[in-house]
Amino acid sequence: MSSPAPPTLTPRQLEAFGQELDAIRARVVADLGERDVDYINRLIRVQRGLEVAGRGLLFAGFLPPAWIGGTAALSLSKILDNMEIGHNVMHGQYDWTGDERLNGKTFEWDTACPADQWRHSHNYMHHTHTNIVGKDRDIGYGILRMSEDEPWRPYDLGNPLYAALLATFFQYGVAMHDVEVEQIAAGESALDEEKREKLRGVWAKVRGQTLKDYVLFPLLSGPSLPFVLAGNATANLTRNLWAFTIIFCGHFPDGTQQFTEEDTENETRGEWYYRQMLGSANLTGGKLFHILAGNLSYQIEHHLFPDLPAHRYGEISDEVREIRERYGIPYNTGPLYKQFGSVVRKIVKLALPPLPALPGLRRSEPVLDEPAAAPARSQKPAPAKTGARKLPAAKTGARKQPTPKAGTRKRVAAA
């Protein structure tokens, strides 16, 4: 990945930038109310209705229309449950309602990953350390090489294959995420009591999910057993592929920036916002698309305000875009096929060892909605004055190599 250098903002500009975003947040928080609760409750009703209808139809799964309808309804149910409901509720987006069913701390979702482990690996590790190579384990999930800063190894030739496998079995990949199983396999981390405890949690959740989808419902359906089994497996697969696609479009399309730990030491709130904006990418689409994507299609807004109800992201996106335009910060967005296409290209390209750097060689085009990389000077805030820092030092064309632990081949993403 090679991207145009993001603008250099002075500390004062970054502070003003952070304050403008804080103001958006404060306004939305002050406006939270019945509309948000009605929205999420309506979605929950739709999801539960789809689930019951889907499982009911699959009991008549020997009839092809019933199988197709049932499988589609169950797939949609799982997608809504995991994304617009589960992911968002678990961020604490509805904690302010005081409704225990919408409590981010106790919500469980219809997937293999135990909710409490997700809250750690995602809400904390990923959202706090977004796109910091070596700290954000969402960069390749410890399996894929998703950054040029990770040293290439022959293992990485399988990058596309691993990606296809991860997408197919995504719920299990997510489930094992917090256990950091690839580090245990590589002998870099011990299977200590904490990890064992996490594994027990994963096992309990996987057992519950498997019992429901692959034993009880098929057995209850009697003669429809093979149809129910196939329908449930298809619904899980559909959800896996969809979630993988949306999630990988959040931080890996061309133009997204990655950072090093040194870049982000003593980060201010403005710098934190700045990193979130540079490290995330949006997807364009219709209302239904955004709902099915759990509004992670507004990944930038989500990373700025992870605990605001996600259905609000679309409403504030114009303002966020206006702010970044004024500061000359790239706003990475595009349709799904384009963004996901660039992710696939990256997966394939990073399977190969890096090309020797040749002057003037551009290895890919940034996918930006407009040439924001070179905004008109007049629109930009005053140029950096003396004492300006490059904040946070986003990794760009000429960047320093990260410093993997001496003598090891430890993958940075797995550190």
Is residue 335 a contact partner of residue 245, using CB atoms and an 8 Å limit?
Answer: no
Q: Residues interacting with other proteins, by CB under 8 A?
A: 26, 29, 32-38, 41, 45, 48-49, 52, 90-92, 95-99, 101, 103-105, 108-110, 119-120, 123-125, 127-128, 205, 208-209, 211-212, 216-217, 220, 306-307
Is residue 102 a contact partner of residue 39, using CB atoms and an 8 Å limit?
Answer: no
* 157: its two tokens: 């030739």
* 163: its two tokens: 């990606």
Q: Kindly state the smallest distance separating residue 39's Cβ from other proteins, in Å.
A: 10
Instruction: Find how far residue 239's CA is from the centre of its chain.
Output: 15
Q: Kindly state the smallest distance separating residue 124's Cβ from other proteins, in Å.
A: 3
In the complex with other proteins, which residue's Cβ is closer, 63 or 204?
204
Q: Within 10 A of 184 (CB to CB), how many other CB atoms are there?
A: 16
Q: Kindly state the smallest distance separating residue 221's Cβ from other proteins, in Å.
A: 12
Give the span between the Cα atoms of 94 and 101, in whole angstroms. Answer: 10
Give the span between the Cα atoms of 262 and 264, in whole angstroms. Answer: 5
CA 205 vs CA 93, 112, 371, 395: distances in Å: 24, 6, 46, 39
Q: Kindly state the smallest distance separating residue 225's Cβ from other proteins, in Å.
A: 15
In the complex with other proteins, which residue's Cβ is closer, 56 or 381?
56
In the complex with other proteins, which residue's Cβ is closer, 26 or 357?
26
Torsion (CA) 166, 80, 336, 297 in degrees, nearest 10: -110
* 225: its two tokens: 């057993």
Q: Kindly state the smallest distance separating residue 127's Cβ from other proteins, in Å.
A: 6
In the complex with other proteins, which residue's Cβ is closer, 109 or 327?
109
Is residue 66 a contact partner of residue 57, using CB atoms and an 8 Å limit?
Answer: yes
Q: Kindly state the smallest distance separating residue 216's Cβ from other proteins, in Å.
A: 6
Phi/psi of residue 346, each to 5°?
-65, -40
Q: Kindly state the smallest distance separating residue 202's Cβ from other proteins, in Å.
A: 13
**Length of the chain as a residue count:** 415
* 234: its two tokens: 């298809």
* 338: its two tokens: 């384009």
In the complex with other proteins, which residue's Cβ is closer, 273 or 340?
273
In the complex with other proteins, which residue's Cβ is closer, 195 or 338?
195
Give the span between the Cα atoms of 255 and 114, in whole angstroms. Answer: 33
Q: Kindly state the smallest distance separating residue 384's Cβ from other proteins, in Å.
A: 27
In the complex with other proteins, which residue's Cβ is closer, 90 or 323?
90
Q: For the chain, how far is it from start to end, CA to CA, in angstroms?
A: 21
In the complex with other proteins, which residue's Cβ is closer, 123 or 317?
123
